[in-house]
Amino acid sequence: MTERIARRARVTALYISLITLAVVFSGPLGWLILTSLKAPSELSVFPVQWFPAEPQWHNYIDALTHIDFLGYARNSLILATITSVLTTVSSAWMAYGFARLSAPGKKFWFGLLISTMMMPGIITLIPTYLMFAKLGLVDTYVPWILWGLSGAAYMVFLFRQFFSGMPKELEEAAILDGCGHVRIFWRIFIPQSWPVLAACMVLTFTASWGDFIAPSLLLSADRTTLAVAMTAGYVNEKGFPVQNLLAAGSTMFILPVLLMFLFFQRFFVQGFSTSGLK
């Protein structure tokens, strides 16, 4: 009886701790939503007014019309889709070579690829910009296509770990049936890799959707993304940020990524759990 009470106490304490952490981590999101529903006069009062006196739902409509929200969202969606699809496919193809093919120096090149994860992307951004400028690719979406085709080291690592754990008998049977490596990759490995595919799609889509530096550096105001447009668009006639509209726009900005994660959540978690170190 005493052991049962102690076990219930531990479980209760665990749930209380988890609920407390959930409240703490969801606090910024809750504050963002509350701010998006406030009137401008409620944003600067002291002491802080936690809840709006009357929810200003029209802030969301104003956020859509204050800038070309849907147009910039379309640009972000195009870039994020291009980047996520190409990065996922190219990373999976490279990982297949590292996991299933034999070649001299394979471990060295894989280690070199993984070591690039320690280099911050901001270091290569300016040289990359100069290279694209000389090629006449500034203010186009071609850089994102090239970045997607080059893959991502972390995604290659995830796919390589997953492919390494697949039975060799599947590959050997396909070879006996006359399949080459291209058909084996598309017919056997990719259909079995939905968890890792979902994880890579979510990670790369989120990174591209929220990217600020590259679009602000490479794209003009008309072709830029929503993340860049929001920072410069939600201002008043004096150039000061309109905080409630910025909060409303930010709330709508995170919705696609949130919905995507909720849709792929089961595969997302499974992708990491099945791509452990080998």
Residue 70, pLDDT score: 92
Whether residue 84 sits in one domain with residue 18: no
As given in the structure block, the two tokens for residue 24 are 């703490």
In a domain, 50, yes or no: no
Q: How many angstroms separate the CA atoms of 68 and 150, rounded? A: 32
Half-sphere exposure (CA, 13 Å, Cβ side) for 254? 11
φ, ψ at 11 (rounded to 5°): -65, -40
SS3 category, 63: helix
Alpha helices (H) along 48-120? 58-66, 69-100, 106-115
Question: Residue 4's CB: how many other CB atoms inside 10 A?
Answer: 8
Q: How many angstroms separate the CA atoms of 140 and 87, rounded? A: 18
**249: Cβ–Cβ under 8 A, 6 or more apart, which residues?**
63, 66, 67, 69, 230, 234
Q: How many angstroms separate the CA atoms of 176 and 264, rounded? A: 35
Query: 172 pairs with which residues across the strands?
Result: none
> What is the domain-level CATH number for residue 91?
1.10.3720.10
Whether residue 126 sits in one domain with residue 11: no
Mean pLDDT computed over every residue of the chain: 85
Worst-scoring range by mean pLDDT, 54-63, 129-138, 175-184? Answer: 175-184
Whether the Cβ atoms of residue 80 and residue 144 lie closer than 8 Å to each other: no
Whether residue 118 sits in one domain with residue 10: no
Reported confidence tier of residue 30, pLDDT bands at 50, 70, 90: confident
What would the mean pLDDT of 97-104 be, rounded to a whole number?
Answer: 85
How large is the angle between the packed helices 106-115 and 153-164, nearest 10 degrees? 140
In a domain, 55, yes or no: no
What would the mean pLDDT of 176-205 be, rounded to a whole number?
Answer: 85
Residue 232, pLDDT score: 83
Whether residue 148 sits in one domain with residue 10: no
CA-based end-to-end distance of the chain? 43
In a domain, 56, yes or no: no
Question: Residue 227's CB: how many other CB atoms inside 10 A?
Answer: 19
In a domain, 46, yes or no: no
CA 115 centroid distance within chain:
21
Whether residue 135 sits in one domain with residue 269: yes
Reported confidence tier of residue 120, pLDDT bands at 50, 70, 90: confident
Please say if the pLDDT value at position 278 is more than 50.
no
As given in the structure block, the two tokens for residue 67 are 């800038």
Whether residue 85 sits in one domain with residue 30: no
In a domain, 42, yes or no: no
Reported confidence tier of residue 268, pLDDT bands at 50, 70, 90: low
Domain count, the chain: 2
Whether residue 130 sits in one domain with residue 9: no
In a domain, 6, yes or no: yes
Residue 75, pLDDT score: 94
In a domain, 53, yes or no: no
Residue 86, pLDDT score: 95
Residue 91, pLDDT score: 93
Residue 272, pLDDT score: 54
Amino acid, single-letter form, for residue 251: T
Whether the Cβ atoms of residue 243 and residue 56 lie closer than 8 Å to each other: no
Whether residue 230 sits in one domain with residue 180: yes
Whether residue 198 sits in one domain with residue 98: yes
Higher pLDDT, 87 or 99: 87
Please say if the pLDDT value at position 262 is more than 60.
yes
Reported confidence tier of residue 209, pLDDT bands at 50, 70, 90: very high
Whether residue 146 sits in one domain with residue 31: no
What would the mean pLDDT of 205-211 be, rounded to a whole number?
Answer: 91
Report CA-CA distances (Å) from 83 to 78, 152, 162, 231. 9, 10, 22, 22
Whether the Cβ atoms of residue 246 and residue 94 lie closer than 8 Å to each other: no
Whether residue 201 sits in one domain with residue 151: yes
What is the domain range of residue 21?
2-36
Whether the Cβ atoms of residue 234 and residue 245 lie closer than 8 Å to each other: yes
Please say if the pLDDT value at position 68 is more than 50.
yes
Residue 253's closest CA among 232, 228, 220? Answer: 228
In a domain, 243, yes or no: yes
Worst-scoring range by mean pLDDT, 41-45, 84-88, 130-134, 182-186? Answer: 41-45
What would the mean pLDDT of 217-244 be, rounded to a whole number?
Answer: 86
| Percent of the chain predicted with pLDDT > 70 | 95
Whether residue 212 sits in one domain with residue 91: yes
Q: Could you tell me the pTM of the whole model? A: 0.84
Residue 51, pLDDT score: 83
Please say if the pLDDT value at position 269 is more than 70.
no
Reported confidence tier of residue 273, pLDDT bands at 50, 70, 90: low
Residue 267, pLDDT score: 66
Write the pLDDT tens digit of every residue in 142-156.
999 999 998 888 899
Long-range contacts of 184-193 (CB under 8 A, 24+ apart): 185/92, 185/93, 185/96, 189/92, 189/96, 189/163, 190/92, 192/166, 193/92, 193/159, 193/162, 193/163
Please say if the pLDDT value at position 126 is more than 70.
yes
